[in-house]
Structure 1
């Protein structure tokens, strides 16, 4: 009877220690992924209703970012809003020879991309989304134009940054 109690206690301790280790590993991985996000040089292309503070793309160790076909890239835009808005919608284009071509993203709803809506005036937000690069895309240099529009269709932010799509 004592042996079972000791084993149960030992198993409980091992389980608790294993849980603690898993938690610490998860925290370290999360911090590592944030630390690996690369600040990207960008141009503000008309953020009428907000101000862009930082743009990070992961992974993007060199600029212009090398986007490999068949992979997805994390995009994080930190911005402050100058207006209130109940909704927000992302619109993304690849600009090739000054011609904007729609660049579909998995979720265009900014309120489901790290932003707690309604958006409040003078608050800082971190918009987080994925930029999937389809295998059908040509290998080409282009400029990504990423807008987040408020409920009146005006840009909370508009950024442009160069990329190169590669195999």
Structure 2
């Protein structure tokens, strides 16, 4: 009887787990910080397959090397020489940052943002670039990685 209970508990947990994947990324010009890791949820294979209209969460862990006052985030999506820009107003502020501001030298922080994939993006492999911007508009974190956009799972 205990064995059946254990199997049911394992089945329940395995069916409710959302897959997150640490993605291979390139630093594209971070200043005043060092990116430690980037993960995408849900993502169970690389490159991540992101479904149009469905939410995904990006988490960027970084260590600051200066005092930083963050402002916005900028999402850039590039394909075939075309770049589309999606500005996330006030996204680099405290509600997306743990621990919250102020960012201090030597501190390690996790930026987390959930958004849906736009239906205007083509269904194909794209280069995605996330920038966390300082008050002057310059990035203090910049990471890029490939992802595939799909219409369905």
Quote the Cα distance in structure 2 between the aligned partners of 1:69 and 1:83.
37
Deviation, structure 1 residue 156? 1.8
1:157 alignment partner, one of 117, 141, 144: 141
Q: Does 1:110 align with 2:93?
A: yes
- Greater radius of gyration (CA): 1
2:73 is aligned, of 77, 87, 90, to 90
Corresponding position of 1:68: 51
The number of equivalent residue pairs is 136
Instruction: Specify the alignment match of 2:116 in structure 1.
Output: 132
SS of residue paired to 2:141: strand
Higher helix share: 1
- Distance in 2 (CA, whole Å) between partners of 1:150 and 1:104 is 13
| Residue 49 of structure 1, CA deviation | 1.5
Matched, 1:37 2:20: yes
Q: What residue number does 1:17 align with?
A: none
Structure 2, unaligned runs of 5 or more: 1-12
CA distance in 2, matches of 1:156, 1:86: 10
Label 1:106 to 1:38 Cα distance change in 2 as closer, same or farther (>3 A).
Answer: farther
What's the CA shift for 1:47? 0.7
Matched, 1:49 2:32: yes
Distance apart, 1:150 and its partner CA: 1.9
CA shift, 1:105, in A, is 4.6
Task: Give the deviation of 1:134 after TM superposition.
Answer: 2.4
Residue 6 of structure 2 aligns with which residue? none
Higher strand share: 2
The answer to whether the Cα contact below 8 Å between 2:130 and 2:142 also exists between their aligned partners in 1 is yes
Q: 1:63-90 CA distances to partner (integer Å, 9 max, x unpaired)?
A: 1110111101011000011111233321
Q: 5+ residue gaps in structure 1? A: 1-27
